[in-house]
Chain A
Amino acid sequence: MTRIEDRGYAHPELLVSTGWVAEHLDDPGIRLVESNEDPLLYPSGHIPGAVEVDWTRDLNQAVVRDYLDRDGFQALARRIGITPQTTVVFYGDKNNWWATYALWVFRLFGHTAAKIMDGGRLKWSNEGRELTREVSAYPSTGYAAPERDDATDRVFRDGVLAHIAAKRALVDVRSPEEYSGARLHMPDYPNEGALRGGHIPGAKSVPWARAINPADGTFKTAEELRRIYLGEAGLAPTDDVVAYCRIGERSSHTWFVLKFLLGFERVRNYDGSWTEWGNLVGVPIEK
């Protein structure tokens, strides 16, 4: 794999290599954050100094289907010992699927000093780098966060309806079977009860994992990504794009790719996604 800075990304500074992370383990301005689907992974071994942010417990509200509010985010940020100036480097399982999700939530609160470790947990592990079970704790900070920004990188169902009416671009990052309506859930996952199968009208199908090199979990080069998203899907960097999946996690990965690796001007993640749209009364679908 080529070096990150040689891959032609619009914002290469949003990605760091495993080697870079290894060189910054003791950097007090860096906080490593592991975010996984599997809650057993972090305690079974993580990069020294890393803290865990769990997508269910730490990023979502327990009662309302929504993300943390400002107080909740401040509490999280203070607990993991970061300030607004701390560079947070996210990594995790599933080719950084949950890491990009966490980064997306942090950016909702204006924490833009955030990066992804290319290749994620698996690449670090496969390189034989150190893992520890020692849980790091950091002094609490007085992190003061702004109110959550739900306009810049996030879109709700009414916004999606307006987006469709304006015939703007949508990317469905689920599996082709979910996109076509042949199945209501991703392969190897249970049915979550969406009433209808199909996709949001006008959406192009680009499964999220196409952005990844399967061999090591790193992101494909900008040229390879352009072939997929511009060449095959017909998107343009000037498009106003909405990405969606099932609950907004896989689409946060595509949001990251379009916004930071390809430099699209406006990309928003519809986290209501198919678990909302597939059950909504009065909205259209396509099969």
Chain B
Amino acid sequence: MPGGPPKLESMRAMFSAMDRAERIQALIDVADGFRPVPEAIAARPYPGERRVPHCESEAFVFAVPRDDGTLKFHFAVENPQGISAMAAAVILDKTCSGAPLDLVESIDPDVMYDIFGRELSMGKNMGLTSLVNMVRAEAARHRR
């Protein structure tokens, strides 16, 4: 069900074409670029309603409206071992921040299956899918 922001679909196609080893290395490189939400936007303890359900890495999502009507997404990942969540957060920030909200809302919830690969454990996939769904929900909320 493609239809999300073009940058995200490009990234999805790129990761889908990688073999397992390439994908893992690429995701680790992406995760290295993770920067948590600035304190000016949100400070610990982060509000519970910002927490991503089902995510064991204790991820939080923050959306800040921009003048052009789009959103800037920020994330926090409290578990230092939450490498997958960090990588997903970086990808969502790079591809959804500044994207039209209708496209963000229409992201395929299964996009993380293609980016992380089908061998990713069920628990991880569920957490990452919840992260996507929270970004989608933020877009939907700000469209109204």
Q: Please name all residues of chain B whose beta carbon is closer than 8 Å to the beta carbon of A43 when the two chains form the complex.
A: 24-25, 28
Task: Kindly state the separation between the CA atoms of A226 and B121 in the bound complex, as whole angstroms.
Answer: 33
Are A188 and B25 CB-contacts (below 8 A) given A37-B121, A41-B83? Answer: no
Q: B123 at interface (Cβ–Cβ under 8 A)?
A: yes
Number of A-B contacts (CB under 8 A): 50
Tell me if A38 and B83 are in contact (CB < 8 A).
Answer: yes
Complex interface bits, B109-141 against A, C-beta within 8 A gives 1, otherwise 0: 000000000011111111100000000000000
Are A189 and B123 CB-contacts (below 8 A) given A40-B31, A125-B81? Answer: yes
Which chain A residues (104-162) contact chain B, with CB distance < 8 Å?
A: 121-122, 125, 133
Task: Kindly state the separation between the CA atoms of A111 and B25 in the bound complex, as whole angstroms.
Answer: 32
> Looking at chain B, what size class is its interface with the partner chain?
20 to 34
Contact of B87 among A40, A133, A192 (CB under 8 A): A40
Among the interface residues A38, A40, A121, A189, which one has the most CB atoms of the partner chain B within 10 A? Answer: A40
Among the interface residues B28, B119, B122, B126, which one has the most CB atoms of the partner chain A within 10 A? Answer: B122
Tell me if A56 and B119 are in contact (CB < 8 A).
Answer: yes
Tell me if B127 and A188 are in contact (CB < 8 A).
Answer: yes
Q: Is the interface of B mostly helix, strand, loop or mixed?
A: helix
Q: A172 at interface (Cβ–Cβ under 8 A)?
A: no
A interface residues, tally (CB under 8 Å): 18
Are A40 and B24 CB-contacts (below 8 A) given A121-B81, A189-B126? Answer: yes
Tell me if A41 and B81 are in contact (CB < 8 A).
Answer: yes
Among the interface residues A44, A93, A133, which one has the most CB atoms of the partner chain B within 10 A? Answer: A44
Q: B94 at interface (Cβ–Cβ under 8 A)?
A: no
Which chain A residues (27-74) contact chain B, with CB distance < 8 Å?
A: 37-41, 43-44, 56-57
4 shortest A-B CB distances, which residue pairs?
A: A188-B54, A40-B83, A44-B83, A44-B28
Interface residues of A (CB under 8 A from B): 37-41, 43-44, 56-57, 93, 121-122, 125, 133, 188-190, 192
Interface residues of B (CB under 8 A from A): 24-25, 27-28, 31, 53-56, 80-81, 83-84, 87, 119-127
